[in-house]
Copies of this chain bind each other. A is one copy, B any other.
């Protein structure tokens, strides 16, 4: 929490504007003191629930006047402590900024307030034949997904938030509302501020509105599953598939531990082996042809029991098993929680990277599994720990750090999609070197008083 008098002055300023949408109750502040991660919680002084950009401007101006921190908060599903108000201040929860401003099917775009969630948008899009493609698993807000540069299973085909945000409205740290980008598909005018705010984790301003790209819902969808003798064979199949130009919509890797968990939890009998789940999108003919091409490729790499289906029920069952992984894994050790790693490496180094991660887990007293969005070279480790055990948490941290260090040594990144937050700050300079000083100069230029989500990227690291 911040200096009480400063916070009180801001609250006094904002109360007449926000009324009961400015909350100082302990329960609400506690709810905004943490995210889904293991980072130490910290309470905001108050939580604001603005409904529009004007109210966000008022909040930021009040905080700028008094030097009080401002922390943007979407659905609270971030995984590295991004939204923890480590220096107190006002948390801006965007859940009431949930208006879909405009859907323009003929331009393949939607304009939404930043609190709109991806499921809400896709529900609204259903009648148009279009979809918003980015799927991080959680029903995150689009503002949060943009701020974390989020992605998920479909990024291999449709891209990440980097690729799907066309334009933004942002309130900068001095309380000015600006727009970035345009409704045109491409532009060569001006510094690319859209991409500067995407992934800035709320440290450069508050995103109030996004213009996002939409994609046609495919006419046909089919899925396939295939077991491999080893990780290298699975990964080499993916490399060859991408090199061949097959536009796979999803390609997910599950290691034997994950498969065993899914079998037990979902009553399936998949072979316990390194396994790929594929999804293909297109016309019925093209989807069938993609599956045939991939069958040929996996045959060449010792893939067994390649099974594909365009039956919606079977497909749903397969992907439900993938989506149930979180619960399936937790079921392996009752009372445990998952400590998650998230790295991305050049795909040519993926097999060795996964093998080393598996060796680390096998040599540890913790259990763990590996799953990945392997078409992008991105994968997650999940270590099963008891939340009250400091020893287990420390071991999970040790494994997670080694994972990142190996990724950085081979040209990879400390986070494929979860972000820096608090948890990965220690790796920022190791990955980006002197470029971190450039980031800090940008932060200081845009936020000289350091009020926007302080104690994070741009100030630390």
In the complex, the chain B residue whose C-beta lies closest to that of A236 is B106
| Chain-B contact segment, one of A13-21, A86-94, A283-291, A314-322 | A283-291
CA distance A439 to B397 in the complex (A): 39
**A289 adjacent to B293 (CB under 8 Å):** no
| Chain-B contact segment, one of A44-52, A117-125, A177-185, A261-269 | A177-185
**B243 adjacent to A190 (CB under 8 Å):** no
CA distance A162 to B191 in the complex (A): 12
Give the number of residues in A that approach B within 8 Å (Cβ atoms): 96
Residues of B within 8 A of A245 (CB): 215-216, 218-219, 281-282
**A216 adjacent to B191 (CB under 8 Å):** no
Residues of B within 8 A of A394 (CB): none
Known contacts A239-B106, A457-B191; decide if A346 and B186 are in contact (CB<8 Å). Answer: no
| Chain-B contact segment, one of A22-30, A361-369, A380-388, A406-414 | A406-414
**B435 adjacent to A186 (CB under 8 Å):** no
Task: Report the minimum CB–CB distance from A19 to chain B (whole Å).
Answer: 29
Contact of A106 among B187, B347, B438 (CB under 8 A): B347
| Chain-B contact segment, one of A57-65, A148-156, A325-333 | A148-156
7 A-B pairs besides A189-B427, A191-B200, A286-B289 with CB distance below 8 A are A178-B433, A184-B345, A184-B377, A185-B347, A185-B376, A190-B431, A190-B436
3 closest A-B pairs by beta carbon, nearest first, are: A445-B445, A195-B195, A183-B411
A-B contact pairs, 8 of them (CB 8 A): A108-B347, A179-B433, A182-B344, A185-B376, A189-B420, A190-B420, A191-B204, A444-B445
